[in-house]
Amino acid sequence: MKDTAALAGKDRYSMEDLLEIMTLLRAPDGCPWDREQDHKSIRRDLLEECYEAIEAIDTDNPELLCEELGDVLLQVVFHSELEREAGRFDFSDVVDGVARKMVVRHPHVFGTAEANTSEDVLRNWDAIKRETKAQETERQVLQSVSAAMPALMRAQKLLKKGAGFGRDAGETAEIRDRLSESAQTAQTAEDVGALLLAAVELSRRLGVDAERALFDACRAYIDSFPGK
């Protein structure tokens, strides 16, 4: 292990340096705050850093994006260090796992399969994912969509996968009609949930990102108020 003096004031740091810094922070004589953390206590930090990176993308700010991607990487390193200490896996296992996944799921690049369009790539990706994760039923595929995702984003992904399984909610015009009727009769949380799901399905049919559409609508709502 490097001593702290060797890591202070370097002109440029490497991935190995970052891993060593995290180990030192978690050491018995390291940082009291870092030593107290566990996966759950820093769960929100991972979410916040991801959202801040997204904001840098949305605002087309490369300098901020560089910084925020570093913050996301730090969270990955932090969680990996917690697991290394527990003896279950470490950062190298994380890297190995995702590299293997990329090779396996791109057989048109690293194997003999053919994929001439983006649609071919996604179709192959989904098929390989189902095989490697032993997803035998359509419900298992839908259950694999993380429940921790924002509900609007999750809904659109679920509906897209459902459509791929032949679950057709009807023509776009019919969905519009159901939306209008539901808006007139909705009374309960269940009614509102069904109404929102139908709105997301309409977004999917129109090729609109529902999450982004609501984001833009929120911004427009804020801008409608006076002041800077």
Question: Which of 68, 70, 85 is CA-nearest to residue 25?
Answer: 85
Q: How far apart are the first and last CA of the chain?
A: 52
The region that residue 9 occupies, defined by phi over 0 for left and psi between -120 and 50 for alpha, beta otherwise, is left
pLDDT attached to residue 168: 74
**Domains defined for the chain, CATH in brackets:** 4-89 (1.10.287.1080), 146-223 (1.10.287.1080)
- Supply the pTM of this predicted model: 0.77
Map tokens 């129109």 to a residue. 206
pLDDT recorded at residue 2: 55
Residues 7-62: tens digit of each pLDDT: 998 999 999 999 999 999 999 999 999 999 999 999 999 999 999 999 999 999 99
Q: Does 169 score more than 70 pLDDT?
A: no
Span 113-130, pLDDT tens digits: 999 999 899 888 888 988
pLDDT digits (tens, 9 = 90+) for 53-77: 999 999 999 999 999 999 999 999 9
CA distances from 77 to 26, 74, 169 (A): 12, 5, 43
Mean pLDDT of 131-158: 89
